[in-house]
Structure 1
Amino acid sequence: MNKYDMKITLIETKKEKTQSDQLGFGKNFTDHMFIMDYTEGKGWHNPSIVPYQPISLEPSAMVFHYSQTVFEGLKAYMTNDGEVILFRPEKNFERLNRSNNRLCIPEIDVEFALTALKELISIDREWIPKIEGTSLYIRPFVIATEPHLGVSIAKSYKFIIIMSPVGSYYNDGIQPVKIVVETEFARTVKGGTGEAKTGGNYASSLKAQVVSKKMGYSQVLWLDGVEKKYVEEVGTMNVFFKINGEVVTPALNGSILQGVTRASIIELLQHWNIPVSERLISIQELYDAYAAGELEEAFGTGTAAIISPIGELLWLDKKMVINNGEIGKLSKQLYDTLTSIQSGRLEDSLNWITKIECKIPQ
Structure 2
Amino acid sequence: MTKHTSHEIDIVKSDTTKIDAVDFDNLIFGRTFTDHMFICDYENDEWQTPKIIPYQPMTMDPSARVFHYGQAVFEGMKAYKDDDGKVWLFRPEDNFNRINKSAARLAMPEFPKDYFMEGLTTLLKMDSAWVKPGKGNSLYIRPFIIATDPAISASPSSNYRFMIICAPAKAYYTGKIRVLIAEEYSRSANGGVGFAKAAGNYAAQFYPTSLAQKKGFQQVIWTDADTHERLEEAGTMNVFFRINDTLITAPLSDRILDGVTRRSIIQLAEDNGIEVQVRPITVTEIKEASKNGSLKEIFGAGTAVVISPISAFEHAEELFELPTIENSYADTLKDKMLNIQHNLDADKHGWRYKV
TM-score class normalised by the smaller sequence: over 0.9
Decide whether aligned partners of structure 1 residues 238 and 64 sit closer, same or farther in structure 2, where only a CA change above 3 A counts: same
Q: Does 1:30 align with 2:29?
A: no
SS of the residue 1:20 aligns to: coil
Query: In the superposition, relative to structure 1, how do residues 165 and 309 fare at CA in structure 2: closer, same or farther (>3 Å)?
Result: same
- 1:161-310 matches, cutoff 5 A: 161-171=164-174, 175-310=175-310
- Paired residue for 2:319? 319
Alpha-carbon distance, 1:19 to partner: 2.5
Partner SS state of residue 281, structure 2: coil
Give the equivalent residue in structure 1 for 2:83: 80
Distance 2:108 2:60 in 1: 18
CA distance in 2, matches of 1:8, 1:234: 40
Aligned equivalents of 1:167 and 1:274: distance in 2?
Answer: 28
What is the CA–CA distance in structure 1 between the aligned matches of 2:131 and 2:28, rounded to whole Å? 14
Deviations 1:289-340 (A, max 9, x none): 222221111110001110001111111122221124x576211100111111
1:155 to 158, 167, 175: 158
d(CA) in 2 for partners of 1:3 and 1:257? Answer: 35
How far does residue 129 in structure 1 lie from its aligned partner after superposition? Answer: 2.1
Question: What amino acid sits opposite 1:19 in the alignment?
Answer: D
Alpha-carbon contact 1:309-1:327 (below 8 Å) kept? no
Structure 2 unaligned regions, length at least 5: none
Note the C-alpha offset of 1:131.
4.4
Contact 1:3 1:112 in 2 (8 A): no
**Closer/same/farther in 2, CA of residues 170 and 59 from structure 1, 3 Å limit:** closer
What code does the residue aligned with 2:31 have? K
Contact 1:297 1:328 in 2 (8 A): no
Query: Any conservation in 2 of the 1:20–1:130 contact (CA below 8 Å)?
Result: no
Q: 1:69 maps to what in 2?
A: 72
Look up the SS of the partner of 1:9 in the other structure: strand
Which stretch has the larger CA shift, 131-140 or 57-66? 131-140
The alpha-carbon deviation at position 170 of structure 1 amounts to: 4.5
TM-score using structure 2 length: 0.95
Aligned residues: 350
Unaligned runs of 5+ in 1: 357-362
CA distance in 2, matches of 1:187, 1:219: 12
1:107 maps to 2:110: yes
In structure 1, give the amino acid aligned to 2:12: T
Counterpart of 1:134? Answer: 137
Match of 2:264, SS state, is helix
* Cα offsets for 1:259-304 (capped at 9, x unmatched): 0000000111122232112111111111122222211111100011
**Residues 231 and 170 of structure 1, relative CA distance in 2, 3 Å threshold:** closer
Question: For residue 130 of structure 1, what is the amino acid of its counterpart?
Answer: P
Letter in structure 2 aligned against 1:135: S
Q: CA deviation at 1:3?
A: 5.1
**For residues 60-96 of structure 1, what are the alpha-carbon distances to aligned partners after superposition, in whole Å with 9 as ceiling and x for unaligned?**
0000000001000111011011111011111111110
Shift of 1:111: 3.5
Q: Conserved in 1, the CA contact under 8 Å of 2:249 and 2:279?
A: yes
The separation in 2 between residues aligned to 1:31 and 1:269, in whole angstroms, is 38
Write the distance in 2 (CA, Å) between the matches of 1:344 and 1:314.
Answer: 39
Change in Cα spacing, 1:50 to 1:194, as seen in structure 2 (3 Å) is same
| Distance in 2 between residues matched to 1:330 and 1:314, nearest whole Å | 22
Q: Does the CA contact (< 8 Å) of 2:100 and 2:111 recur in 1? A: yes
Contact (CA 8 Å) 2:77, 2:92: kept in 1 or not?
A: yes
Return closer, same or farther for 1:333/1:131 CA change in 2, 3 Å cut-off. Answer: closer
SS at match of 2:117: helix
Q: CA deviation at 1:168?
A: 2.5
Give the root-mean-square deviation of aligned CA atoms: 1.5
The one-letter code of the counterpart of 1:29 is F
Partner of 1:348: 347
Identify if the C-alpha distance between structure 1 residues 260 and 268 changes in structure 2 by more than 3 Å, giving closer, same or farther.
same
Structure 2 equivalent of residue 5 of structure 1: 8
- In 2 relative to 1, CA 273–131 (structure 1 residues): closer, same or farther, beyond 3 Å? closer
Gap change, CA 1:3 and 1:198, over 3 Å in 2? farther
Aligned counterparts of 1:111 and 1:233: Cα–Cα separation in 2: 32
- 2:330 corresponds to which residue? 331
Q: 2:350 and 2:216 mapped to 1: Cα distance?
A: 41
Structure 1 Cα separation of the partners of residues 48 and 90 of structure 2: 27
